[in-house]
Amino acid sequence: MSGAWATFGIDLHLQPAGPGLRRGLTDALREAVRTGRLAPGTRLPSSRSLAADLGIARNTVAEAYADLVAEGWLTARQGSGTQVAERAVPRRQDRPPRRHREPGRLPYSLIPGSPDVSAFPRAEWLKAGRRALTAAPSDALDYGDPRGRVELRTALADYLARARGVRADPDHIVICSGFAHGLRLLAEALHDDGTRTLAVESYGLDVHWNLLHRSGLRTIPLPFDELGTRTEELTASEGPRAVLLTPAHQFPLGVALRPERRAAVVEWARRSGGLVLEDDYDGEFRYDRQPVGALQDLDPEHVVHLGTTSKSLAPGLRLGWLVLPPHLTPGITRLGGALTTGVLEQLTLAEFLTSGAYDRHVRSARQRYRARRDALVEALAARAPEVRVTGIAAGLHAVLQLPPGTEETVVRAGAWQGLALHGLSRYRHPEAEPQPMDALVVGYGTPPDHAWSGTLEALCKALP
């Protein structure tokens, strides 16, 4: 009995505290009864047992019990011991579940970089996962090939050849946990090979530049004009040995790399022994143009094709891939590759691709995002005609060109409307030449369907 009540006291944190043991014990018992931790009718241990459990004098416990009996919290009857008095215990009001939101996060968002994750095809993904796990051999759950599961590498080789024009061999595909992981593997391999500088576009993501810097690579921004990234600086005698590009749909400005510049980049890589890292982040989504094929098709020996499911399905899947030149595959494989990517997710994506579910989802998503883009253009034409919309032939974001000097003001006005916005200047490389253009980079693919109309209304109110 004594041991049981010792455990009971610890569970309830029934520890005397305060200016005196008697008062401390009285307060602790009263609080336990008041809050319902000691329910009405609960029989308390004898003063001797509780005193032994708490390591205090028996008289202290007896006096605390007597105080609480006098106050009506406890009852004491001859032969029945001390019990918690019967009384009405106030019920806690049921509260609606809180919507957990990050501190400072606004209710509406047009931050680019994410699809509408609420539209993730959960039912189809679960079906694919069930089929994949049922069919998977037992050794699939072992450590396996650091390049990733052969089922996924084979499915990707077929899909990328058909949908993106990539020349892919499953033996030279490495699965990774998203684009950043793949870029880090490439950066480490380049650094180990003696590379110290890497060219990047003058507008892009600081997350990627910082990752390259941490790997020991200096990034050199290439100039940009209305035709896209200018590549002539790659031919400098002391120029970089590698370049990171978004040739199908430049992020964030939204233009495709011109054919003559695509050819020039590949020619530079052949002549110099350089390497082109092709970020094909949203190649599935195009609306008013023919699809722009992968740069990798022009020279698989000098172009690495990087892709992910972050825009087509959801960033949280953490699934990406590298289509590598044969000479790079062993080095990247030694760095780890798919060892950080779950086997079940790989098998599920393989099944999702081979069953046709991926194609069906992309076609459906393409229609939804096109409707959003059209609604955005129509609303701006009616309510903010001075704002020019560009970069809308493909992808999940648009560039809204603003009157000079208004970018920061509009971003602040968006926050007043509960809308998170990014200005174009946020994406400029710190060493790039400033561009005389104020603009917003609007991720119209980001909001869930139920929030789209409110998000669009908030944007229109924020614009000058």
Q: How many other CB atoms sit within 10 Å of the CB of residue 23? A: 16
Q: How confident is the model at residue 15 (pLDDT cuts 50, 70, 90)?
A: low
Q: Which amino acid is at 79?
A: G
Average of per-residue pLDDT across 406-431: 95
* Predicted local confidence at residue 435, as pLDDT: 74
Tens digit of each residue's pLDDT (9 = 90 or more) over 158-209: 999 999 999 999 999 999 999 999 999 999 999 999 999 999 999 999 999 9
**Structure-block tokens of residue 171:** 């033996």
What is the reported pLDDT for 26? Answer: 86
pTM: 0.77
- Joined tokens for residue 177: 């946990």
Mean of pLDDT over the chain = 88
Q: Name the E strands within 238-282.
A: 242-245, 275-279
Q: What domains lie within the chain, and their CATH numbers? A: 2-84 (1.10.10.10), 108-114+363-462 (3.90.1150.10), 120-359 (3.40.640.10)
Distance between CA atoms of residues 35 and 98, nearest Å = 23
pLDDT tens digits along 92-138? 555 545 445 555 678 999 999 999 999 999 999 999 999 999 999 99
Q: Are 350 and 378 in contact (CB under 8 A)?
A: no
| Phi, psi angles (nearest 5°) of residue 218 | -90, 135
Query: Side by side, which strands form the sheet with 173-176?
Result: 173-176, 320-323, 303-308, 275-279, 242-245, 197-201, 218-222
The share of the chain scoring above pLDDT 90, in percent, equals 67
Percentages helix, strand, coil for the chain (3-state, rounded to 5) are: 45, 15, 40
Tell me what pLDDT residue 275 has: 96
For residue 53, give both structure tokens.
Answer: 């459990």
Q: What is the mean pLDDT of residues 266-284?
A: 93
Alpha carbon separation from 45 to 6, 72, 84, 130 (Å, rounded): 10, 18, 11, 54
pLDDT higher than threshold 50 for residue 9: no
Residue-level pLDDT at 87: 76
Q: Using an 8 Å Cβ cutoff, are 420 and 110 in contact?
A: yes
Give the tens place of pLDDT for each residue, 324-369: 999 999 999 988 765 678 999 999 999 999 999 999 999 999 999 9
**36 vs 314: which has the higher pLDDT:** 314
pLDDT for 51 beyond 90: no
The band of 11, judged by pLDDT with boundaries at 50, 70 and 90, is very low
How many angstroms separate the most distant Cα atoms in the chain? 102
Asked if the model's pLDDT at residue 300 lies above 80, the reply is: yes
